[in-house]
Amino acid sequence: MTQELLAHPWFGTWIAALIAVPLALLAHRIGGMVLRRITRPAPAVHAMVVNCTAPARLVLPLAALMMVWQAAPEDLRYLGSVRHLTGLLLIAASTWFVLKAISGFADGVLAQHPSDISDNLQARRVLTQTRVLARTAMSVVVVAGGAMMLMTFPGARQVGASLLASAGVIGIVAGLAAKPVFSNLIAGLQIALSQPIRIDDVLVVEGEWGRVEEITGTFVVVRIWDDRRLILPLTYFIEKPFQNWTRHSAELLGSVFFYLDYGMPLAPLRAEVERIVKAAPEWDGRFFNLRVTDATERTMQVRVLCTAATSGLAFDLRCNVREGVIDFMQREYPQFLPKMRFEGIDPAMGQPAGALQGAAAG
């Protein structure tokens, strides 16, 4: 039995494989410890090394086996099939390795820029760029890995060559079919580099107010104020106009309009607005004012401007100002709320009989 085993054509190759695999695992263990230690000062690279530990444990033994099969005698039975299978596994493991490397590096970059702080504009910029670029790179890696695996099959190479050599009709059809994919890929790169939108940006899009919740490789998820989700393709934000309230800063200037009777004195109203705004915790202390911005035949339009650190705080501040001014008017100057006046004619005297007044809050 021993003699037969020693005389087997695969015996030497098996022994080399049994030596190569443990050596590769030992190299993985030692190399991993060394790399984790020397990359500790660089968080992004360190996160990438840690994330690649599992796929590297598979890549190194497969690479060692591939070298053993390449060095084996060519006349070994089934050697071609073993090489092909090992090659497929090595390509798949390498693709996994690169994906984990990209993911780990992205996680390391994001860990250095936490977005759960008040002034998170720079963090959101990095978050958007990192996620979009990482997903784009991962998509390219998956496609490249799949193509490399297919190219190991002679039949697939012949099919690909025949398709490429065939006339341009198939190419045109394929190009038209792939247009949405490439359009979104290019739009994703444009969004990552030019950043018209970022994660957690406040947008007004399609008549809806919401925040950017997620940016994927093909679409953007906008969380509407009432918890609905608006799903839009990436190309929408390249081709169509929309409002971005946090493009350069989250700070916002809010406005509140009132329609009052001409008899309303402005000095006490301005003093009350100052009191309301300064007492509001949502006000960021930058600016506020009160101005008469329009005059119609019945009322004057009064505008209050006030600033807040974020759009959410600005909305609450505007509501507080609106409620406070209405309460002040109802309490102190109800006679100067907007009114509709109707004058009739006394049939006996031929003179106006008086004014019928009805108050209406504006």
Q: What DSSP letter does each residue of 167-204 carry, written as one string?
A: -HHHHHHHHHHHHHHHHHHHHHHHHHHH-SS-TT-EEE
Q: What angle do CA 27, 32, 38 make, to 5 degrees?
A: 125
pLDDT at 172: 43
10-48 pLDDT, tens digit per residue, is 667 778 888 888 999 999 899 888 988 888 888 888 888
Rounded distance between C-alpha atoms, residue 208 and residue 242, angstroms? 10
Q: How far is CA 269 from CA 82, 255, 275, in A?
A: 88, 16, 10
Which residue is it, tokens 């809806």? 208
Residues 114-120 have a mean pLDDT of 61
Rounded distance between C-alpha atoms, residue 20 and residue 69, angstroms? 11
181-218 pLDDT, tens digit per residue, is 566 667 777 777 777 888 888 899 998 989 998 888 78
Rounded distance between C-alpha atoms, residue 68 and residue 83, angstroms? 10
Instruction: Work out the pLDDT band at 175, boundaries 50, 70, 90.
Output: very low
Instruction: Work out the pLDDT band at 223, boundaries 50, 70, 90.
Output: very high
Rounded distance between C-alpha atoms, residue 147 and residue 182, angstroms? 17
Instruction: Work out the pLDDT band at 317, boundaries 50, 70, 90.
Output: very high
* DSSP-based three-state secondary structure for 253: strand
Residues 224-241 have a mean pLDDT of 89
Residues 342-362 have a mean pLDDT of 48
pLDDT at 96: 93
Identify the CA nearest to 299 among candidates 258, 334, 343: 258
pLDDT at 283: 92
pLDDT at 132: 77
pTM for the structure as a whole: 0.54
User: Which residues lie closer than 8 Å to 123 by C-beta, 6 or more apart?
Assistant: 113, 114, 115, 117
From the CB of residue 95, how many other CB atoms can be counted at a distance below 10 Å?
Answer: 21
DSSP count for the chain of H helices, then E strands: 11, 10
Counted residue by residue, the chain has a size of 362
Q: What is the chain's mean pLDDT, rounded?
A: 80
pLDDT at 230: 93
Q: Are 28 and 60 in contact (CB under 8 A)?
A: yes
Instruction: Work out the pLDDT band at 5, boundaries 50, 70, 90.
Output: low
Q: Are 69 and 83 in contact (CB under 8 A)?
A: yes
> The tokens of 218 are what?
């093909």
Of 72-76, 81-85, 151-155, 329-333, least confident by mean pLDDT is 151-155
pLDDT at 189: 75
